[in-house]
Every structure is written in C-alpha cells, then in structure tokens.
Amino acid sequence: MEPDSVRESWENRAGEYSPAYYAHYGPNETSALIREALDAHLDRDAAVLELGCGSGRHLEHLASHGFEDLSGIDINAEAFETMRETYPELAADGTFYCGAIEDLVEEFDDGAFDAVYSVETLQHLHPDVESAFAEIARITDDILVTAEIEDPTRESAPDEPDVNYVDDETPLYYRDWGEIFTSLGLVEVDIVRGDRDTTRTFRVAD
C-alpha cells in the first residue's frame, strides 16, 4: 500500500474508527496512563502535543486534570468539527493542526513541546515516512509517550510479516518503539504492557 493511500484512508475516515466513533467512547484507561506519565515528570503548564488527536478524548482528559497548554495534530478535518461539538472548551482553548503528521512535525522548532504523545497512531505511518520518527524526537523537549500496538493481534500474511490490516484499507505496522526511540537518543524510563497496547515513556537525554 502506498503512503498516499494510507493517508487518504485516515483523511476520509467515517464510521468505525472515525473521530466521531472515538468521541462516543470518550476518555479511557489509556487516557489515564498518558496523564500519569506526564504527571510523573511535568508541571501542569507544560506544552503538550498529541499526534493523531482525533476528536480530542485524551486531550480532554488532560484538560480536566489541569493541563492548560494543549495541542493536537490530525489528518481528518472531521476530527475538529467533532471536537467543537463534543469538547467545545478544548476546541476553543487548544491549538490544533490539520494535516499529515510527517508533514507537520517538520515545521516545529527543536524542543517545541515539553511532551509529545501518541495513542495507536504511529503504528499507521507508512514505512516510507519513518523519517518522521526522528522529527518527533527532535521536537520533544522532555517527555515522549507512545501507546501503540506492538505485537500481532492476528496472523499476518507471509509476504507482510510486520503488517496487518484493520480493514481492507487500513494497515497497521508492528514496530518496537523502544528500539526506535532509544536509537534516536531518548531514554526509556517506563513501560506498561496492556492487553492491547504497550505504553512506553521516554525522556530526552541530558
């Protein structure tokens, strides 16, 4: 599957796994794990960026617990329309960017955010745009958190051992995020293995 096709599958996503789909469920246990990771290292005025924020359910959880400087990126314009309907205060107070992660992260300054995090988002980036991972490390000033599916949930095709498809159009690429981000100079300080996701916390090396 080509990178443009992967982007288009999320840019135009409706129904299952769309921004409205996740807004219906609201914050969850992963939201709490992200907050706990940030709580352990940062003050409430920390600048926080979510990669693939959707309609903002995880950011809403942070806002409700006192985090004030919140930003998000999502490729699907519907995400921000849903956010304005579901979490109007977050939509009004936060800073949001509509576009592909691999394009937008290049535009931020070094260490632009005290914390950057993703929830089941980086796993959908095509191998051809993996240079984005170095950019994510570059714009992180202190804490990076990844909550991603790392182990196959079902058998992959023999010719694609590291990829599965959520549906016919949405690939999921399995990666070892610990290896990826420590190779980029970050230090892994915590790991929580759940039934679905592996949540890793990294710090920028002094």
List for the chain the helix, strand, coil content (%; round to 5). Answer: 40, 25, 35
Angle between helix 57-64 and helix 29-39 axes, rounded to 10 deg = 50
Q: Write the CA distances from 15 to 84, 130, 175, 187, integer angstroms.
A: 18, 28, 27, 38
Q: What rounded mean pLDDT belongs to the chain?
A: 88
Of 171, 182, 45, the C-alpha closest to 115 is: 45
The model's pLDDT over 13-31, given as tens digits with 9 standing for 90+, comes to: 555 555 666 665 678 899 9
What is the Rg, in whole angstroms, of the alpha carbon atoms belonging to the chain?
16
pLDDT digits (tens, 9 = 90+) for 106-122: 999 999 999 999 999 99
* pLDDT(140) > 80: yes
Q: Residue 38's pLDDT band (boundaries 50, 70, 90)?
A: very high
CB atoms within 10 A of CB 38: 23
Q: Could you read off the pLDDT of 65-116 as tens digits, one per residue?
A: 999 999 999 999 989 999 999 999 999 999 999 999 999 999 999 999 999 9
| Amino acid residing at 37 | A
pLDDT score of 21: 63
Question: In this predicted model, what pLDDT tens digit does every residue of 166-189 receive, in sequence order?
Answer: 666 678 899 999 999 999 999 999
Residue 199: what pLDDT?
A: 97
Q: How confident is the model at residue 156 (pLDDT cuts 50, 70, 90)?
A: very low
Q: Mean pLDDT throughout 37-62?
A: 96
Contacts of 180-185 with C-beta under 8 Å, sequence gap 24+, read: 180/133, 181/133, 181/137, 181/144, 181/146, 184/133, 184/134, 184/137, 185/137
Percentage of the chain exceeding pLDDT 90: 70
**pLDDT level of residue 161 (50, 70, 90 thresholds):** low
3-class state of residue 36 by DSSP: helix
Provide the pLDDT for residue 8: 56
How many of the other CB atoms lie within 10 Å of CB of 15? 8
